[in-house]
Structure 1
Amino acid sequence: MKRLLFLLLACLPSLTALAQAEQSIWYFGNQAGLSFSTGQPVPLLDGKMNTYEGSAVATNAQGQLLFYTNGVSVWNRQHKLMPNGRHLMGDASSTQSAVIVPDPGSGNVFYIFTTDLQGRSNGLRYSVVDMTRDNGFGDVPRANMLLITPVAEKLAAVRHANGRDVWVVAHRWNSNAFVSYLVTAEGVAGMPVMSNVGSMHAGPGRNAIGCIKFSPDGSKLAAALWRESNKFELFDFDRTTGVISNPQQFGPYEEAYGVEFSPDGSKLYGTSNGAGGGDATITQFDLRTGKAERVGKSANRKVGTLQLGPDGKIYVAREDNPYLGVIQNPNAPGAACNYVDDGFNLGAKRSKLGLPNFIR
């Protein structure tokens, strides 16, 4: 029995690595990229995408690249545009311009969900990628199917409680309503679950800027509200029903932009830049004690998206910079989380404000 227990424990790291393989390749910014295939990140220099903010990447279960997008164009694993992979109706300057969801009923079909810039009329749409087309390099047989308009630049996805289906969540513009669309083997639900909760997302179009992000266990949803709203919000999420509830607010934080949770879900991190930039700050919110503390100050004028990596560290986009910031120990309280501004060298490529958007 002891030998069996030892073998099971020895297998845990490899099982964890396998579960994280689908998020092991990142493309973002000015042709920048990362690979976590060996456990530690290494820069990728072969990306062809330029995007100021949002991007998304699809891999197979083994972590091999399939395609990537900025919400407008779709590149295959040869870094070539798919034959019909142009003119998606997201925007490369939408905070979360895209997220990719595999069809729960097929290993070859994927949905690309997109959001438009600053609450404009293209709204929330989805396109279909079929990997059996173009000799296995993929194509887009259906594009830009409208779900709802207008929406903010916020987009996130999380597994349903059944472990198979996926919720895709966005936020209506000029409204306080989150919309949760369920993706099943039958396709994308035509009608969302709507949750009228939290702040209005309204006003000048720039107020649509800012991320939403699920906690690692999917039970919480955080949002950054930019400019006039200047705050972060936290909600409960029901992975069975898609309902969002129990709002909490943290603020003011001028030009709040990115949000991310620690791997254990005990800490929430947010980026903010001050009015017009120049005060690029990372704040930690301890969800157990209620304490808020500034844990990082970037030399950059602006910082953007926060993204938890397969290595358990949180990476921070720095506008037009060859380095990402890195929160080395995100489960640790306060300064012990160890934010390093020049944390990871992108190998002569540059980040902008975005990092890839993945399913939780």
Structure 2
Amino acid sequence: MLRYLYFFLTTFLPLLLSAQAAHDAQWVLGSPRLLPTDIYHGGTLIDFRSGTPEVSYFDLPIHLDPIGMICDNEGNLVFYTNGCSIINAAHQTMENGDSLNIGGVHDSFCSHSYPSWQGFLALPKPGTEDRYGLFHVYIDRESLRNTEFRYTEIDASANDGLGRVDVLNSLVYQDTVYSQISAVRHANGRDWWIVAAKQNSSQYYITYYGPEGPGATLTQAIGPVWEDMHAASQVIFSPDGSLNVRFDPVSATHLFDFDRCAGTFSNYRMLDFMGDTVSYGGAAISPNNQYLYTSAGRYMYQYDLAAEDVAASRIRIAEYDGYLVLGYPSLPAAFHNMRLAADGKIYGTARGSSNVLHVIHNPNQPGLACNAEQHGLDLATLHAFAPPNYPYFQTWDVEGSPCDTLGVNGPPPVSVNDATEEDTTVRVYPNPARDYIYITSSDQPIKQVQLWDSRGRLLKSFSGPTERIDVRGLPPGFYYLRVFLPDGYTSQKVVVQ
């Protein structure tokens, strides 16, 4: 089953026509400094491009709670938003970007941020190089409900690369929806499906996003009726896009299969909390699609999605250790939202202001081998609640599906004989590298080695045993090394400094 072997699809860069995998290479977190002497607030930037998260401080002009943002094909910051304004890479308000969601709620709340949860999601516009779409919910001032689903489009090439908003607050559809927006790439490898749930209903809105902008919106009723108290604290798709997870902190974790060709849900089921009911939490799925992680306040769990009985596979991988942010009893760093990051690790936020993130270092591994580390990453400033709302950008076409008609080719299909990260004996070092990359295999001969750049171009290919690759002339950045063995192949991301 491809779910078990999807490691390759998430580590070997596909040969694409447009979007690359670096759109989530940076995160911005935090809130503005209160005073010039304030050492706790400001912006935290996390840069994953080196393969290790690099944390730095910057002067943040807006409160980021929640966060919509995106980087370009090379991982450079394009913009971020809190639902009130759009801020460019120079940390200034983008041209025409000061009136996002303009209206009564904007006027009342935007001295802080737009009241939402997971209500902003940025995507590269299909078929373009420098244009991006931002999907966002709009709140009616009288009912205080999300009554409109909107679209804003940005030209990132304008103003010498600082960007310009060309389409602002365009209506996609009008209805009451919850503010948990999730998205997954279409089976054609280029376009997107954007999903939101109708309030007090079992209905979902599923919007197609292609080169012409937002297209048809499908509707589907499936699963339980969502009431306000059960509005999810986080909604995610699995890396391969086949599973949608809705974390309801009151009752259960809800699972839906998803057809990326048709844009439809099926096979609803749920995982009970079994007595661990909490009022907050989140979910994430491992890069190989096998393990579901949920954070439920004091506890963090792992489920094996390949198990015959997924609910019975639940393992507690962490219990909150009592860490207090800055030593304040009112700021416990218990477990909240989670997000799979560009480095293949899962990072988790706390429920309130916190200067740390929790880290699952090896999410592809079962049980305690996943190495969940509490407060494992120090931030430069305090941040509250949510990580950036990103889709999984390394999901590509579904090869052989009725929708795979564009010639946007992802990685070659893998077979059950292909090597995996866990069972391969190949060692690649050093990583990062400056001069040479060395390759060894302890028990199988190396048949071929290929080196690809971040645009999906084959740079070097060697047949037969290869123990060293010269990288001295390569620009710094991400590269992808593929090593072929008699029983299959393995792919690894390498960094050249």
Judge same fold: TM > 0.5, yes or no.
Answer: yes
- In the alignment, what sits opposite 1:121? 146
Percent of counterpart pairs with the same letter?
30
**In the aligned structure 2, how far is the partner of 1:310 from the partner of 1:76?**
21
SS in 1 for 2:21: helix
Question: Alpha-carbon deviation of 1:195?
Answer: 2.1
Question: Alpha-carbon deviation of 1:257?
Answer: 3.2
Question: Alpha-carbon deviation of 1:226?
Answer: 3.5
- In the alignment, what sits opposite 1:107? 129
Structure 1 338/222 Cα, relative in aligned 2: closer, same or farther at 3 Å?
same
**In the aligned structure 1, how far is the partner of 2:266 from the partner of 2:97?**
37
> Does structure 1 residue 243 correspond to structure 2 residue 264?
yes
Q: For each residue in 1:231-267, what CA deviation from the matched residue of structure 2 results, as whole angstroms up to 9, or x when unmatched?
A: 1111101000110111111123322531110111111
> Does structure 1 residue 292 correspond to structure 2 residue 310?
no
Question: Alpha-carbon deviation of 1:83?
Answer: 2.6
Q: 1:198 aligns with which of 209, 218, 223?
A: 223
8 Å CA contact retained: 1:155, 1:169 = yes
> Does structure 1 residue 152 correspond to structure 2 residue 164?
no
- In the alignment, what sits opposite 1:255? 279
Structure 1 108/52 Cα, relative in aligned 2: closer, same or farther at 3 Å?
closer
Structure 1 33/148 Cα, relative in aligned 2: closer, same or farther at 3 Å?
farther
8 Å CA contact retained: 1:56, 1:357 = yes
**In the aligned structure 1, how far is the partner of 2:299 from the partner of 2:152?**
36
Deviates more, 1:164-173 or 1:288-297: 288-297
**In the aligned structure 2, how far is the partner of 1:270 from the partner of 1:350?**
23
**In the aligned structure 2, how far is the partner of 1:301 from the partner of 1:148?**
38
**In the aligned structure 1, how far is the partner of 2:281 from the partner of 2:149?**
20
**In the aligned structure 1, how far is the partner of 2:45 from the partner of 2:55?**
6
8 Å CA contact retained: 1:153, 1:210 = no
CA RMSD in angstroms, aligned pairs only: 2.4
Structure 1 301/326 Cα, relative in aligned 2: closer, same or farther at 3 Å?
closer
- In the alignment, what sits opposite 1:85? 97
Structure 1 264/345 Cα, relative in aligned 2: closer, same or farther at 3 Å?
same
- In the alignment, what sits opposite 1:213? 236
> Does structure 1 residue 336 correspond to structure 2 residue 369?
yes
- In the alignment, what sits opposite 2:425? none
SS in 2 for 1:113: strand
Question: Alpha-carbon deviation of 1:109?
Answer: 1.8
Deviates more, 1:61-70 or 1:90-99: 90-99
> Does structure 1 residue 264 correspond to structure 2 residue 303?
no
Q: 2:46 aligns with which of 23, 34, 39?
A: 34
8 Å CA contact retained: 1:257, 1:270 = yes
**In the aligned structure 2, how far is the partner of 1:244 from the partner of 1:58?**
27
**In the aligned structure 1, how far is the partner of 2:288 from the partner of 2:269?**
20
8 Å CA contact retained: 2:177, 2:199 = yes
Structure 1 353/34 Cα, relative in aligned 2: closer, same or farther at 3 Å?
same
**In the aligned structure 1, how far is the partner of 2:391 from the partner of 2:228?**
29
1:48-59 matches, cutoff 5 A: 48=60, 50-51=62-63, 53-59=65-71
Question: Alpha-carbon deviation of 1:57?
Answer: 1.9
Structure 1 102/20 Cα, relative in aligned 2: closer, same or farther at 3 Å?
closer
> Does structure 1 residue 223 correspond to structure 2 residue 224?
no
8 Å CA contact retained: 1:167, 1:242 = yes
Structure 1 116/254 Cα, relative in aligned 2: closer, same or farther at 3 Å?
farther
Structure 1 285/120 Cα, relative in aligned 2: closer, same or farther at 3 Å?
same
> What amino acid sits opposite 2:21 in the alignment?
Q
**In the aligned structure 1, how far is the partner of 2:134 from the partner of 2:59?**
19
**In the aligned structure 1, how far is the partner of 2:339 from the partner of 2:182?**
12
**In the aligned structure 1, how far is the partner of 2:344 from the partner of 2:61?**
26
Q: For each residue in 1:33-61, what CA deviation from the matched residue of structure 2 results, as whole angstroms up to 9, or x when unmatched?
A: 21011110011312625546421222111
8 Å CA contact retained: 1:235, 1:246 = yes
Q: For each residue in 1:133-186, what CA deviation from the matched residue of structure 2 results, as whole angstroms up to 9, or x when unmatched?
A: 334311223222232321112111111111011111111111111211111111
Deviates more, 1:21-30 or 1:235-244: 21-30
Question: Alpha-carbon deviation of 1:345?
Answer: 0.7
**In the aligned structure 1, how far is the partner of 2:267 from the partner of 2:13?**
34
**In the aligned structure 2, how far is the partner of 1:140 from the partner of 1:19?**
22
Structure 1 58/248 Cα, relative in aligned 2: closer, same or farther at 3 Å?
same
- In the alignment, what sits opposite 1:62? 74
Structure 1 215/47 Cα, relative in aligned 2: closer, same or farther at 3 Å?
farther
Structure 1 210/159 Cα, relative in aligned 2: closer, same or farther at 3 Å?
same
Structure 1 13/247 Cα, relative in aligned 2: closer, same or farther at 3 Å?
closer
Q: 1:232 aligns with which of 227, 230, 253?
A: 253
**In the aligned structure 2, how far is the partner of 1:212 from the partner of 1:281?**
19
Structure 1 52/100 Cα, relative in aligned 2: closer, same or farther at 3 Å?
closer
Question: Alpha-carbon deviation of 1:302?
Answer: 4.2
SS in 2 for 1:81: coil
**In the aligned structure 2, how far is the partner of 1:14 from the partner of 1:74?**
33
**In the aligned structure 2, how far is the partner of 1:34 from the partner of 1:49?**
17
SS in 2 for 1:67: strand
TM-score normalized by the length of structure 1: 0.86
* Rg comparison, structure with higher value: 2
Structure 1 341/49 Cα, relative in aligned 2: closer, same or farther at 3 Å?
farther
8 Å CA contact retained: 2:137, 2:146 = no
- In the alignment, what sits opposite 1:277? none
> What amino acid sits opposite 1:26 in the alignment?
W
Question: Alpha-carbon deviation of 1:281?
Answer: 2.2
Q: 1:142 aligns with which of 156, 163, 167?
A: 167
SS in 2 for 1:336: helix
Structure 1: give runs of 5+ residues left out of the alignment. 1-11, 274-279
Deviates more, 1:333-342 or 1:165-174: 333-342
